[in-house]
Amino acid sequence: MAFLEVKNLTKSFGDTRVLKGIDFDLNSGEVLSIIGSSGSGKTTLLRCLNFLETADGGSISVDGKAVFDAGDPLLSSHKAIRHNRINFGLVFQSFNLFPQYSVLRNLTLAAALKASEENPDYKKRKKEINAELDERALRLLDRIGLKEKKDSFPCELSGGQQQRVAIARALMLTPRILCFDEPTSALDPELTKEVLRVIKDLRTEGNTMIVVTHEMDFARDASDKVIFMANGIIEESGTPDKIFGSPESPLLTSFLNQ
Amino acid sequence: METFLSVSGKLAQGFGTTLSLFFLTLLFAIPLGLLFACISRVRLKALRFLMRAFIYIIRGTPLLLQLMIVVYLPGIVFNNPLTKWPVFKGNVPLSYFCGALFAFVINYACYFAEIFRGGIENIPKGQYEACEVLGMSHSQTFFRVILLQVIRNIVAPMSNEVVTLVKDTALARTVSVVEIYFAASEILRLQFIIWPLFYTGAFYLGFSALLTLLFGMIEKRLSRYWR
């Protein structure tokens, strides 16, 4: 059984059917790139995985455990969603860092709030726990090469730096699958490189990732699997070699020749 | 010199009333405005519509007119004039002051409501979504992430409204509230000296300067961080 299994996922907005039955699976440690033109449903798919949208039908399971099932009301309660969504992390196209907090606080805020809720002796060990979180955040910042920026505010960073901080922020909660929604679309080519390098590094460390991207070079070189979406369905999927080397679908061929 | 001191004393007394009206209006209008802002954002369409219509009416008519209505309507329509209402401070009837305060609170709550609504609606959706995917609860999202950004959004327009309120308090004289302008015009009427009227400007200016400084400090404090 695959690590992530998505079965027959459907989603409509009003009369528009955005996802018309999506099936795919992903093994632990693999990187999946989702490509396709605007409006093909790839961002909606990612948002369904992260519970920012609720799919109308289908199911999602991680490591053999159902995290979403349209037919199971138990899984769609607010509490269940809050519990299950931590399986996934999401990095946004527009970074969405918290402007009023330092880089370090951006990383630790959610983890600290989580500890205050879940750890029964948080009040007693507050200092200790926060020190641990700071330390972990600093290690992450070191890994993305931004340790010296820990006290800066987001507005003082370049777009590429902000996106790297956003990646570190998502990693703080140790998601089992990290998703990226067009992480470099708001960046110029130079900054795109530094962000993609971080994502590639994460791959060598064995992180399971799903990347919605317009960077074809990245999809070809840095993923284990590629899905091409068109009109709400998976038009074609396979290894990067197959998708880019010998595409079968005429839609994919014309998409790649653009 | 003697006249100056006695005039200053009388004006200062009037200014005390001005300040009470000012601070009490803020005290009640800010929470009420927050409530109005929330109501004008609820899902229930009818309620939202009623709230917005009310805000539109209040913002679309002069405060002067609203003062007249609040203070004189009970007497005219219900034969129950405000002066009969048992609100006293010592021997001084406060009913007109309370009536004026009521009109000011409603009027300013409506303006504040629109500022708050704008401040809340201007927060990018991405901020809420970032909180959501990081597993924060609704209250954590609001108090830890959104609130400060809302405050930052509203400081400038609030400072505008608050400085306007200082000067709007002069309208209360039309319903017999002896604030500083009324006090000065009484001096003109009884002692035939006109300069106290101009002298009131110094009080208004001094107080506005204080408020401007205060808001400037808040704004500077908040903008240290972003944008």
Evaluated on CA atoms A123, A125, A131, A135, the torsion sign reads negative
CATH number of the domain residue B71 falls in: 1.10.3720.10
Alpha-carbon distance A160 to A177, whole Å? 22
B-chain residues near A170 (CB < 8 A):
133-134
Give the confidence band of B87 by pLDDT, cuts at 50, 70, 90. Answer: low
Q: What single-letter amino acid sits at A177?
A: I
A109 close contact with B: CB closer than 8 A = yes
Give the confidence band of A118 by pLDDT, cuts at 50, 70, 90. Answer: confident
Give the model confidence (pLDDT) of A55-71 as tens digits: 999 999 999 999 999 88
Alpha-carbon distance A249 to B19, whole Å? 76
Whether the per-residue pLDDT at B15 is higher than 60: the answer is yes
Tell me how many domains chain B contains: 1
Look at B126 and A109 and tell me if their CB atoms are within 8 Å: no
Give the model confidence (pLDDT) of A3-41 as tens digits: 999 999 999 999 999 999 999 999 999 999 999 998 899
- Placement of tokens 């204080």 in the chain: B210
B226 close contact with A: CB closer than 8 A = yes
Whether the per-residue pLDDT at B1 is higher than 90: the answer is no
- Could you tell me whether strands B92-93 and B88-89 are parallel, antiparallel, or unpaired per DSSP bridges? antiparallel
Contact A6, A23 (CB under 8 A): yes
Predicted local distance difference test score (pLDDT) of residue B3: 83
> How close A2 comes to chain B (CA, Å)?
23
Whether the per-residue pLDDT at B227 is higher than 60: the answer is no
Question: Per-residue pLDDT averaged across B1-10, rounded?
Answer: 85
Whether the per-residue pLDDT at B84 is higher than 80: the answer is no
Domain that holds residue B184: 2-225
Of A34-38, A94-98, B47-51, B217-221, the range with the lowest mean pLDDT is B217-221
List alpha helices for chain B, DSSP H: 2-39, 45-60, 63-78, 95-121, 125-133, 138-140, 147-168, 180-191, 195-223
> How close A5 comes to chain B (CA, Å)?
20
List alpha helices for chain A, DSSP H: 42-49, 78-84, 103-118, 122-143, 159-172, 189-204, 216-222, 240, 250-256
Contact A32, A226 (CB under 8 A): yes
A-chain residues near B126 (CB < 8 A):
92, 94, 96
Q: Which of A51, A94, A113 is opposite residue B140, by nearest beta carbon?
A: A113
C-alpha distances (whole Å) from A199 to each of A27, A154, A164, A219 are 17, 20, 9, 11
ipTM over 0.85 threshold: yes
A176 close contact with B: CB closer than 8 A = no
A-chain residues near B152 (CB < 8 A):
100
Highest mean pLDDT (candidates A22-31, A68-77, B177-186)? A22-31
Predicted local distance difference test score (pLDDT) of residue B92: 62
Question: Per-residue pLDDT averaged across B42-51, rounded?
Answer: 93
Q: Which of B130, B152, B226 is opposite residue A92, by nearest beta carbon?
A: B130
A3 close contact with B: CB closer than 8 A = no
C-alpha distances (whole Å) from A127 to each of A67, A124, A147, B15, B26 are 34, 8, 21, 50, 39
Average pLDDT, whole number, for chain A? 93
Predicted local distance difference test score (pLDDT) of residue B165: 96
Predicted local distance difference test score (pLDDT) of residue A90: 96
